[in-house]
């Protein structure tokens, strides 16, 4: 029997059954602890409206450990038992992505790549700072290859599970269904036999992209070269305003003058920084000499 709607101190789900004999209760205290932990570990600010999402995602982790109690599970996270802290972050990280998502950014990238190729300049250095399962950095690499522009693409994410997928570079065909047939033929190999229904990124593209784990909120980032283009899309919405300002300055420091910063479709945080000017929809050019 479900509790009445007014029972706001517990979250129960009819699907939250362990072996058919128990239902896990998710108290307000548990949710508060989750919000604090994910803010501490990843800088993600979860709203109160995310409670059901948190419940459903963490329920899988409880099942993996054979637990019936969220409090016990959160102790595993806090003590980082068997690497559960990383699994906790992975479970709560949103990883919505697609090939050539927000295509206007890739039009700008193509123009820059064509100009660099015509001048026979240095390789174009691009960073996908929240690369999820890899569709974004592979899309960047496709644009560079099609322009005949040498490139070096870095993809980073806090979530190690999605990084494994990105680096494997193997996708179900439906993930590439929006690509034109010519682009699909040029950049992917079609699976056969046991791999029917899968596509794999071609070696020529793989040679352009490298991956690594990075928490954008970490106080110290590994030493990095400066970039010509940075994609930082649909991630700062999870950070508070103070950290958004800090992150923007760090990104500005890593962009060469004339470099491009691409942000998400609902984000405009670079507009207030004197080192950037708008150069298209949710795209900003780094100013300075």
Among all residues, which ones are annotated catalytic?
Answer: 57, 157
In this structure, are strands 198-201 and 255-263 parallel, antiparallel, or unpaired?
Answer: unpaired
Spatial distance between the Cα atoms of 19 and 114, rounded to a whole number of angstroms: 58
Q: How far is CA 200 from CA 138, 145, 166, 190, in A?
A: 11, 16, 11, 7
Pair 217, 114: CB distance under 8 Å: no
**CB count in 10 Å sphere of residue 202:** 16
In which order are the strands placed within the sheet that holds 209-213? 209-213, 151-157, 124-128, 227-232, 255-263, 283-286, 276-280
**Cβ contacts of 122 within 8 Å, gap of 6 or more:** 116, 150
Which spans in the chain are helix H?
A: 28-42, 51-65, 70-79, 84-92, 103-118, 135-146, 160-168, 181-187, 203-206, 241-254
The first and second tokens of residue 165, run together, are 């997928």
Burial of 273 (0-12, 13-18, 19+ CB in 10 A): middle
Pair 125, 225: CB distance under 8 Å: yes
Pair 157, 166: CB distance under 8 Å: yes
* DSSP 8-state assignment for residue 18: S
């Amino acid at each position: 029997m479900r509790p009445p709607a007014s029972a706001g101190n517990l979250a129960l789900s009819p699907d939250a059954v362990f072996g058919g004999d128990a239902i896990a209760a998710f108290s307000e205290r548990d949710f508060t602890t989750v919000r604090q932990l994910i803010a501490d570990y990843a800088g993600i600010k979860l709203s109160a409206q995310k409670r059901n999402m948190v419940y459903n995602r963490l329920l899988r982790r409880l099942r993996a450990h054979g637990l019936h109690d969220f409090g016990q599970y959160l102790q595993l996270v806090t003590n980082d038992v068997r690497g559960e802290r990383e699994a906790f972050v992975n479970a709560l990280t949103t990883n919505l992505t697609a090939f050539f998502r927000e295509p206007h950014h890739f039009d700008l990238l193509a123009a820059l790549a064509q100009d660099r190729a015509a001048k026979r300049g240095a390789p174009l250095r691009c960073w996908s700072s929240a690369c999820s399962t890899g569709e974004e950095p592979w899309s960047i690499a496709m644009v560079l290859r099609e322009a005949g522009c040498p490139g070096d693409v870095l993809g980073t994410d806090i979530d190690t599970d999605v990084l494994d997928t990105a680096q494997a570079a193997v996708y179900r065909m439906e993930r590439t269904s929006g690509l034109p047939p010519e682009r699909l033929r040029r950049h992917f190999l079609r699976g056969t036999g046991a791999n029917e229904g899968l596509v794999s990124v071609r070696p020529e593209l793989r040679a352009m992209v490298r991956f690594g784990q990075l928490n954008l909120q970490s106080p110290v980032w590994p030493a990095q070269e400066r970039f010509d283009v940075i994609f930082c899309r649909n991630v700062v919405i999870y950070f508070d305003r103070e950290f958004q300002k800090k992150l923007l300055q760090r990104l500005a420091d890593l962009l060469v003058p004339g470099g491009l910063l691409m942000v998400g479709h609902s984000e405009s945080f670079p507009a207030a920084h004197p080192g950037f000017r708008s150069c298209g929809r949710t795209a900003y050019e780094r100013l300075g000499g």
